[in-house]
Amino acid sequence: MDEVKKYYLHKDDFSKLHFEINDLQSYFQKHRDHASKAHTHGFYQFIWFQSKGRHYIDYEIIEHEPNTVVFINTNQIHYFCTDSINDGVLIHFNDFFVNQFNQELAQRFSLSIFNEIGKPYIQLKQDEVSRFRNVIDLINEEIAISDKLQKEQLFFLFCSLLLSAERIKCKNEIKELYKNPDFMLVYSFKKEVYKHKNTFHKIDFYSQLLNTNSKKLTTLVKQYLGDTPAVVIQSIKILEAKRKLANKQSSIQEIAFDLGFDQPTYFTKYFKKATGITPKEFQSLLP
C-alpha cells in the first residue's frame, strides 16, 4: 500500500478562516489525483453527497444513497471513489474555527458527530434536504462578503447545520452508541481532558479517574480517536492556548499560568514544539 499522505487546512496560517466550502464535483475533478488515493487530514470534512455512489472510509467501502452526509474526523483515512459522480457540497474546517467562538460546541461536535463510532453518515429526508440547502445557500452568500462580522456569521450558520446533523444522527443511533462501553470510556476520557485542560496530567491520572488501566485506555483512544492519549491531551491544551491567544485579553505570561505552566518560557517551548511557531508569532498571524 502506498504511503498515506496527510493534508492540512491553512497550516500555521491563522489569518485564514480555517473554514472552506466547495462544490464537491469541481473540487474532486481539480484534486482527483490525491483525493482518489487513501489519505488523511488534520481537519474535519462534512461531505454532502447529492447522488448515489461509494466512498472509502477506514478500510471499508461505504455504499451511499442520494442526499447522504458523511462526517470525516481528523486523522481518518478515506478517499473518493472514481466510479461515483461525487457531486454535492464539501466543507473543510478546523477545531480552531469552532473553538475560538464556543469551546463547548467544539467539544460537543467532536463527541456527537465526528466520533468514528457507528455509521459515519446520515441520510437526509426531503424536508431535511430543503433545510440543509437553505443553510448552505446562506453560507455561500456569506463567503462572498468580506467584513469584520463574516467569521462570526459563518460560525453561527455552520453550527446550525451541525446541530441539525446532530439531531438526525441522535435519532438514528445515539441510544445504541451510549450502550457501547468502549465508546463511553473514550467519550468520558475526552470530556475529562477538556475539564482538566488548565492543568497537567498523564494518562495514569485519567486511567484511575475512569476506573480502567492505561493499556486499555490507550488502545481504545487510538482506535476511536486515531491518536494516543498523550497527543489528544496535548491537542486540547494547544487548542485552549490558541483560543486564549486569539482573544488577546491577557498577556502571554498570564495565559501560560492559566494553562498550568510554571514558567512562560516553558509554555513558549511547548507551544512551538506542537505548532512550529511561538505564541507571539501565532498572535501576529491573526487578522
Q: Is the same domain home to 28 and 168? A: yes
Give residue 46's domain range: 5-176
Q: Is the same domain home to 268 and 146? A: no
Strands 78-80, 53-57: parallel, antiparallel or unpaired by DSSP? antiparallel
Query: What number of CA atoms fall less than 13 Å from residue 79's CA on the CB side?
Result: 16
Cell numbers 466512498 correspond to: 55
Cell numbers 441520510 correspond to: 123
Q: What distance in Å separates the CA atoms of residue 220 and residue 239, rounded to the nearest whole number?
A: 22
Q: Is the same domain home to 112 and 230? A: no
Q: Is the same domain home to 37 and 154? A: yes
Q: Is the same domain home to 151 and 241? A: no
Cell numbers 493499556 correspond to: 215
Q: Is the same domain home to 142 and 115? A: yes
Instruction: Among 133, 156, 176, identify where a domain stops.
Output: 176
Of the candidates 79, 117, 77, 119, the one whose C-alpha atom is nearest the C-alpha of residue 224 is: 117
Q: Residue 23, Cβ neighbours under 10 Å: how many?
A: 14
Q: Is the same domain home to 198 and 64? A: no
Q: Is the same domain home to 115 and 231? A: no
- Predicted confidence at residue 131, as pLDDT, reads 95
Q: Is the same domain home to 62 and 111? A: yes
Of the candidates 284, 242, 283, the one whose C-alpha atom is nearest the C-alpha of residue 259 is: 242
- Predicted confidence at residue 226, as pLDDT, reads 74
Instruction: Among 152, 176, 200, identify where a domain stops.
Output: 176
Give CA angle at 99 (215, 147), nearest 5°.
155
Can you give the CATH number for the domain in which 59 is found? Answer: 2.60.120
Give CA angle at 45 (39, 47), nearest 5°.
105
- Predicted confidence at residue 188, as pLDDT, reads 87
Q: Is the same domain home to 188 and 76? A: no
Q: How far are the Cα atoms of 82, 88, 119, 225, 275 from residue 60, in angstroms, in the given order?
A: 15, 21, 12, 17, 32
Q: Is the same domain home to 92 and 209? A: no
- Predicted confidence at residue 1, as pLDDT, reads 40
- Which stretches in the chain have pLDDT values below 50? 1
- Predicted confidence at residue 178, as pLDDT, reads 63
Instruction: Among 176, 194, 219, identify where a domain stops.
Output: 176
- Predicted confidence at residue 2, as pLDDT, reads 53
Q: Is the same domain home to 130 and 208? A: no
pLDDT tens track for 214-271: 999 999 988 877 789 998 899 888 878 887 887 677 899 999 999 999 999 999 999 9
Can you give the CATH number for the domain in which 196 is found? Answer: 1.10.10.60
- Predicted confidence at residue 235, as pLDDT, reads 85
Q: Residue 48, Cβ neighbours under 10 Å: how many?
A: 23
Residue 94's Cα: distance from chain center in Å? Answer: 5
What domain count does the chain have? 2
**Amino acid identity at 140:** N
Q: Could you tell me what percentage of the chain is helix, strand and coil, using 3-state DSSP and rounding each to the nearest 5? A: 55, 15, 30
